[in-house]
Amino acid sequence: MDRPLRTESPESALKGVRPNIVQSIRAFRVQDLQDAARSMGQHFLYANLATAQSKQDVLDLLAQQFILPAHFGKNFDALYDCMTDPVHKSGPQPGFIVVLEQIPANAKFDKEAREQLLDIFRDTADYWAERKVPFRCFYSFL
């Protein structure tokens, strides 16, 4: 079956979305976000956290799916460092579109843990905004 012809460019999916933001994925499809990243020459980072039960599980999955360096300390401070410092030192960056899909919502990864995780990505968005590099993070809860 043929897919309908797309009449707009992939990056138009992000029209009206600030360049440095962390927001619910809501009306966005992961494939559209990936296509937008590709067409804009930006990094696309995707993590599906559906199998995570705890903070450690979330950090382990992020390390695997984002292909973080072996020295990643598997804590929130180390996550921030991996999303900013080494990447910044590697040269000019074109921008980032990050998807955190199905963040767990359970007793071992409660509201406070979810907010701490999203705060890391908000701080990362601020870090890149100061350097005039787009960093958009979209998330959903399980």
For the chain, helix, strand, coil in percent to 5 are 45, 20, 35
Residues 6+ apart with CB under 8 A from 76: 59, 116, 117, 120
Tokens 């968005």 correspond to what residue?
Answer: 125
* Domain boundaries 16-141, CATH class: alpha beta
Three-state DSSP class for residue 65: helix
The domain ranges of the chain are 16-141
Mean pLDDT of the chain: 90
> Binning pLDDT at 50, 70 and 90, where does residue 3 land?
very low
In sequence order, what are the beta bridge partners of 48? 101
The pTM assigned to this predicted structure is: 0.89
Could you read off the pLDDT of 77-121 as tens digits, one per residue? 999 999 998 777 788 899 999 999 999 999 999 999 999 999 999
> Measured between alpha carbons, how far is 68 from 81 in angstroms, rounded to an integer?
10
Q: Are 100 and 139 in contact (CB under 8 A)?
A: yes
The two structure tokens encoding residue 89: 């030192």
Question: Nearest CA to 103 among 22, 34, 44, 42?
Answer: 22
> Angle, nearest 10°, between helix axes 76-89 and 111-130?
20
How much is the pLDDT for 87? 77
Which residues share a beta bridge with 24?
Answer: 139
What is the percent of the chain with per-residue pLDDT over 90, rounded to a whole number?
A: 77
SS3 106: strand
Question: What pLDDT does residue 1 have?
Answer: 47
